[in-house]
């Protein structure tokens, strides 16, 4: 485990690593941590992989200040990459960060391919209609309450109740990071323009995911140049946990796409 800018970073270099091979960086979502990719990483042992706990979460909980904008999250991701050729794959909120990083105009930006699995896009009208305007509603309750509420909404009441008291306390401790990052993207104006993407992009979704997640991915594929759709049959939002084989294939497809030339083409579908 390494520490970059106060972040806990875990890097795996395969025995047959070749100079020039890209690093494959996996970025976790809200109220999650890098260890959630464990089953996926076991299926990617031949790749040079990097995972990290984002600022405010788990082993990076003491890394302050917390980012109050998506730009702060992008700064951390580019710092972890460190100018190396990289393929970046983000799950959920991590996908939003990955897209923003791929679009940043920066001499240190060395991302050659980007992938996002069901990234949240609260500024889109299709997200605003999912039970109140996600674009304008900021989280206002205390972080402990918001963390528990988010976990129950995403994973279910039963999943929360099955957690030990210490595990519940751990999730509540991540509440400040959750509040900061969700408020950062609950905006009306898009924080980036996907139509300006100049590298290959891959967007994934689960076959059983809720409509606004699936529709958001369809929107990305339609509006991002040279984008490709990747479906994981039978999966919900947490595909990295429930369908590690499918998510590992999603990662490998993103790595394959790094060797393609990014030109505006009709979206392609991969199942």
pLDDT band of residue 140 (cuts 50, 70, 90) is low
pLDDT at 247 over 70: yes
* pLDDT, averaged across the chain: 89
Q: How far apart are CA 264 and CA 145, in angstroms?
A: 45
Question: pLDDT for 182-204, tens place per residue?
Answer: 999 988 889 999 999 999 999 99
Inside any domain, residue 165? no
Following DSSP, what letter does each residue of 53-118 receive, concatenated?
Answer: PPTTSGGGTT--SPPSSHHHHHHHHHHHHTTS-EEEEEETHHHHHHHHHHH---TT--EEEEEEES
Print the domain residue range for 214: 2-132+188-270
Inside any domain, residue 30? yes
Inside any domain, residue 56? yes
Inside any domain, residue 164? no
Q: What pTM was estimated for this model as a whole?
A: 0.91
Q: How far apart are CA 20 and CA 47, in angstroms?
A: 12
Inside any domain, residue 146? no
pLDDT at 30 over 50: yes
pLDDT value at position 265? 42
> CATH number for the domain including 222?
3.40.50.1820
Percentage of residues of the chain with pLDDT beyond 70: 90
pLDDT value at position 133? 46
Inside any domain, residue 222? yes
- Rounded mean pLDDT of 210-238? 96
Edge to edge, the sheet with strand 227-232 lists: 2-4, 7-12, 49-52, 23-27, 86-91, 111-117, 201-206, 227-232, 268-270
Question: pLDDT for 116-133, tens place per residue?
Answer: 999 999 999 888 655 444
pLDDT value at position 4? 66
Number of domains in the chain: 1
pLDDT band of residue 263 (cuts 50, 70, 90) is very low
Inside any domain, residue 170? no
Inside any domain, residue 178? no
């Amino acid at each position: 485990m390494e520490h970059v800018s106060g972040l806990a970073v875990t890097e795996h270099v395969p025995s047959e690593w070749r100079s020039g091979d890209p690093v494959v960086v996996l970025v976790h979502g809200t109220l999650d941590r890098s260890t959630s990719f464990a089953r996926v990483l076991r299926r990617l042992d031949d790749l040079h992989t990097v995972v990290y706990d984002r600022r405010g979460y788990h082993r990076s909980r003491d890394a302050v200040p917390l980012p109050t904008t998506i730009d702060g999250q992008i700064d951390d991701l580019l710092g972890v990459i460190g100018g190396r050729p990289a393929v970046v794959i983000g799950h959920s909120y991590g996908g939003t960060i990955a897209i923003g990083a791929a679009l940043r105009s920066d001499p240190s930006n060395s991302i050659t391919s980007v992938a996002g699995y069901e990234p949240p896009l609260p500024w889109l009208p299709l997200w605003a209609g999912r039970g109140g305007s996600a674009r304008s509603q900021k989280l206002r309750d205390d972080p402990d309450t918001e963390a528990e509420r988010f976990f129950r909404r995403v994973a279910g009441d039963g999943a929360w109740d099955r957690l030990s008291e210490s595990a519940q306390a751990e999730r509540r401790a991540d509440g400040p990071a959750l509040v900061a990052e969700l408020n950062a993207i609950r905006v009306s104006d898009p924080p980036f323009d996907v139509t300006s993407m100049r590298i290959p992009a891959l967007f994934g979704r689960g076959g059983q995911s809720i409509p606004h997640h699936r529709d958001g991915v369809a929107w990305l594929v339609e509006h991002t140049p040279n984008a490709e759709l990747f479906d994981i049959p039978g999966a919900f939002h947490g595909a990295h946990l429930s369908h590690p084989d499918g998510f590992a294939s999603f990662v490998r497809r993103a790595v394959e796409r790094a060797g393609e030339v990014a030109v505006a083409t009709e979206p392609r579908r991969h199942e």
